[in-house]
Amino acid sequence: PYKPANNISLKLTPVFYGFYEGIENLRKKIGQFPAEMLEYLIHEYEGELYQLDLALGIFFDYLKKNNLFETSLIFITADHGEGFREHGNLEHNTIYNEIIKVPLIVKFPAEFDLKGKIVKNLVSANIDIAPTINEVIFPERNIPDFQGKSLLPYAQYDIPVAENEFVISEMIPYN
C-alpha cells in the first residue's frame, strides 16, 4: 500500500524486508501477521511522508527563487489519516481520530503578517479551503453559496472557536 522511492525506502526500512502481501490479504489476517510486518508498513508510510517533505522543499525553493513565495497562498492537508492497528484496523477504513483528524497547514501571503501563527482547537474541514481562497484572493467578492467558512478571520483576529462548531465525518464500509 505504501511505496516510497527506492532510495528513501532503503534509508528507512528496518531489517525486516518481508514479502509484500496485498492489503486485502492483510485485512483478512489482521491478527496474524507479525509485529515486524506492521513496523515495515509504518516505515514505508513514513518514507512516503519523507518523500513528500523533500518534494515540498523543492517546490518552496522554486517559489522563493522566482520571488513567488511571499505572495503565495498554500494549503497542505489530507483527505484522511492512516490507521496502524491503534483500534485493530489497518489503512483508513474506520472513523477514529487517527483517520479523521488531519492537519491543515496554511501559508498566507506575507501581506497578512501571519507567519508562524498557530490557531488551536479550530474545527475545520476541506470544505473551508475554497471560502478561504476566495477571501484572500477576492476579498471584495462574497460568494454566499460556499458551504464552508473562511479560516482567515480565525488566524487574523484570534476569534474563539464556538462551542457548537462541529464537523460530521462518515464512511461507507467496503469489503
**pLDDT, tens digit, for every residue of 86-110?**
777 767 777 778 877 888 889 999 9
What is the structure's pLDDT at 8? Answer: 67
83 φ, ψ (degrees, to nearest 5)? -110, 135
What is the structure's pLDDT at 163? Answer: 65
User: In angstroms, how far is CA 105 from the centroid of its own chain?
Assistant: 8
Q: What is the DSSP letter of 88?
A: S
What is the structure's pLDDT at 20? Answer: 46
* Residues 106, 131: Cα–Cα separation, whole Å: 13
What is the structure's pLDDT at 12? Answer: 57
Record the pTM: 0.76
Task: Specify whether the CB–CB gap between 137 and 73 falls below 8 A.
Answer: yes
Helical spans, DSSP H, in the chain: 6-12, 23-28, 35-65, 97-100, 129-137, 152-157
Q: What is the mean pLDDT of each run of 10 residues along the chain (175 residues)?
A: 67 47 53 72 84 93 97 90 75 76 89 88 78 91 80 85 70 67
Three cell numbers, residue 42: 509504518
What is the structure's pLDDT at 116? Answer: 87
Task: Specify whether the CB–CB gap between 72 and 60 falls below 8 A.
Answer: no
What is the structure's pLDDT at 18? Answer: 42
Number of Cβ within 10 Å of residue 95's Cβ equals 13
Beta-strand relationship, 90-91 and 83-84: antiparallel
